[in-house]
Amino acid sequence: MFLCPNRDGFLKTYTTTGKNGLPLTYHRCPHCRGFWLSGFAANFLMDTDLESAHPVHHPTTRRASDIRFTPLCPECKAPLHQTHGDNIPAHVTPFRCTAGHGYFFPAGELSKFKTAQQAKIAYHKLWNIPLPSVASILLASLAVLLVSITAMVTAIRQKQSMESQAQSVFKSQTAFPSPQGTVLFVTTTNSPSTATLFVPSWNNYHIVMDTTDGLTHTTTVSTIPPGTYRYFFTITINGKTVQTEMFEFSAR
């Protein structure tokens, strides 16, 4: 059990299904109504999971402006720091553990962050402007994302085991661009196999992806010139190779 960063009670743990069907975990203090969660969970939580499910108005609610003592990390007890930056709108006040344990959003702040995130995505879609990068609307840096990858891999695997027997070897894939110009590719397969990433328009780039169990395959590609790229994977199983459909990602 984790103590709330405001030290007014123990955090309650919730699990939910976020965007892209990702199972997510977050924690909330039943007293001050603050949220404690990873940047990854903050990014992928559905808006409906937030204060709509957990009303903010309560006699013990403590807003960001009511916090008199520095909040402490529930995991390492270090003081949390207020975070600012491109990824966080000026009117939102999250606190962050500098050791990377997570983010604390006082009552009302997480839904403000989600609203701003949605507005930014909608604005770029409306005007057909490419997003600067997915990372600019996300809290997590690639480093945080890589830390979260273990959790995500576990989540994807749980989803696999819940679903009915697969039709094909290829299961799912995602590309995560970072502001530093690197892209993290994750692909999952239904049976142990070898996956290779191909980016044909980038000098026929291809690389065999890393895997420990043959089911989840990852690779990070760095220093990609800005542009939109199409890519695909080949999956080799028992000496037979199949090719996936084409996918697309944008690097800026």
Which residues bind to Zn ion, rule: CB under 5 A? 4, 6, 8, 29, 31-32, 73, 75-76, 97, 99, 101
Q: Nearer Cβ to Zn ion, position 81 or 252? A: 81
Q: How far is the CB of 54 from Zn ion (least distance, A)?
A: 12
Q: Nearer Cβ to Zn ion, position 96 or 114? A: 96
151-167 CB burial, b ≥16 within 10 A, e <16 = bbbebbeebbeeeeeee
Q: How far is the CB of 66 from Zn ion (least distance, A)?
A: 11
Q: Nearer Cβ to Zn ion, position 3 or 131? A: 3
Count of Cβ atoms closer than 10 Å to residue 141 Cβ: 17
Length of the chain: 252
The token duo for 171 is: 């299961």
Contact by Cβ (8 Å): 107, 56: yes
Q: How far is the CB of 100 from Zn ion (least distance, A)?
A: 7
Q: Nearer Cβ to Zn ion, position 29 or 41? A: 29
Q: How far is the CB of 93 from Zn ion (least distance, A)?
A: 15
Q: Nearer Cβ to Zn ion, position 51 or 169? A: 51
What does the alpha-carbon distance between residue 172 and residue 188 come to, in Å, rounded to a whole number? 5
Q: How far is the CB of 121 from Zn ion (least distance, A)?
A: 29
